[in-house]
Amino acid sequence: MIPFEDPSKTQFVLLYKSLERIVAGDPADKVLSYYQTRLLHISGVGPRLDSCLKCNRSIKSRKVAISLSEGGPLCALCVRGDEGNQRYMVVTGGAVAVLRKWQSTDPYHVSRFVLADNIKSEIREVLDKYVSYITGKRSINPEMYLKPLQGLEIN
């Protein structure tokens, strides 16, 4: 995300503040999902989540189709017209609302988000599939790195 030759102060500060949140006791999995969402957004490659990408209608349904190839949500009408495109996934409106909010939220406010397990897993799935799609590479499983850290006390 950050070319070595072109360091970004904004991205460094985001990383620093996100790590501070983990040290402060915020759940590492939630902070990681937040960090990834915000990093994609400030890097200019994050999904656009404010409205349907094809017709610009606002998205207010309980289930939302996220098009990986288009980079954001499609409303129910546009999904019906795009049935040949299997590059979308259906998630709850709650997961999309959290992702949208995280794109502009400061790391210090991440602890205010209380997420149900299904929302957490949907957010993780969206991020994993989206990053895999835009990079052309299989996403790493962050839980593999987070499990050894669970219960670890940082002084």
Q: What is the pLDDT of residue 78?
A: 86
**37, 46 in Cβ contact below 8 A?**
yes
- Read off the pTM: 0.82
What is d(CA 23, CA 140) in angstroms, rounded to the nearest whole number?
Answer: 23
The gap from C-alpha 94 to its chain's centroid, in whole angstroms, comes to: 13
**31, 107 in Cβ contact below 8 A?**
yes
The amino acid present at 88, given as its one-letter code, is: Y
Q: What is the pLDDT of residue 61?
A: 82
Q: What is the pLDDT of residue 130?
A: 93
pLDDT in tens, the chain (155 residues): 555 666 788 999 999 999 999 999 999 999 999 999 999 999 999 999 999 999 999 988 889 999 988 899 998 888 886 666 567 899 999 999 999 999 999 999 999 999 999 999 999 999 999 999 998 887 665 555 555 555 555 55
Q: What is the pLDDT of residue 52?
A: 93
Q: What is the pLDDT of residue 106?
A: 94
What is d(CA 129, CA 137) in angstroms, rounded to the nearest whole number?
Answer: 10
Sort 33 into a burial class: Cβ within 10 Å, 0-12 / 13-18 / 19+: buried
Q: Phi then psi for 108, rounded to 5 degrees?
A: -70, -15
Please give the domain boundaries of the chain with CATH numbers for all domains: 9-136 (1.20.1440)
